Amino acid sequence: MNKTMEKEYKWRADELLLNRALLWASSRIGSQSRTIRMESSYFDTADGMLRNKKAALRLRRENERTVCCMKLRGEEESTDGLRAHEEYQCDAGTLEDGLRQLPEKGAPEALCGELLHAELKEICTVSFRRCAVLLQEQDTVCELALDKGELRREGRSAPLCEIELEYVAGDEKAFHALAAELADQLDLVPENESKLARAMKV
């Protein structure tokens, strides 16, 4: 199966920047927004099997939908907020159900099978409210995500506030140009760490 590559820019934010980004998006032709309540739980083995493989496994409730997701990161680290990695996901009520389905979506069958027989534990959680705005310019489609919530690990917590712009379809050059325009207009600072990486530092 073909790899499913996720490409997205991520920037640090505060309440003011979230509002300014929403105004920026709302002023563009073809923008459509929706609000999603996200409750994410991340899992790994006691010896950090997934961490060592530069992978992440997540079960996330998105309003009334529950989604299992596996991400596989490349060797290159982000320096400008742009992240590109393999991402596979499916609707699943439990982690086990998700791991059985993910190979059909293209995820590594051997890794999913190994995880099904491993003792997985929740390593951190991330809860946030997302305002998702679908943007379309000619044949280029992307999603602007405005996230505000909390990172939690072992009884400790830290605030979460960030802006993401994810490529969906069309001309990738136009997607990068749109990201550059947004970052320039709002004077955004890149966020080079994932939610998982930041939650693990709480």
Tokens 């943007």 locate to 135
Class of domain 5-199: mainly beta
Closest CA to 124 of 56, 199, 32, 185: 199
Contact of 42 with 196, CB cutoff 8 Å: yes
User: What are the helix and strand counts (H, E) for the chain?
Assistant: 6, 8
pLDDT tens digits along 179-198: 999 999 999 999 999 999 99
Question: What percent of the chain shows pLDDT beyond 90?
Answer: 85
Distance separating the N- and C-terminal Cα atoms of the chain: 37
Q: Does the pLDDT of residue 3 top 70, yes or no?
A: no
Span 119-151, pLDDT tens digits: 999 999 999 999 999 998 888 999 999 999 999
- Spans of all domains in the chain: 5-199
The total of other beta-carbon atoms located within 10 Å of residue 179's CB is 24
pTM: 0.91
How would you classify residue 69: left for phi > 0, otherwise alpha for psi between -120 and 50, otherwise beta? beta
Candidates 112, 114, 52, 122; CA nearest to 88 is 112
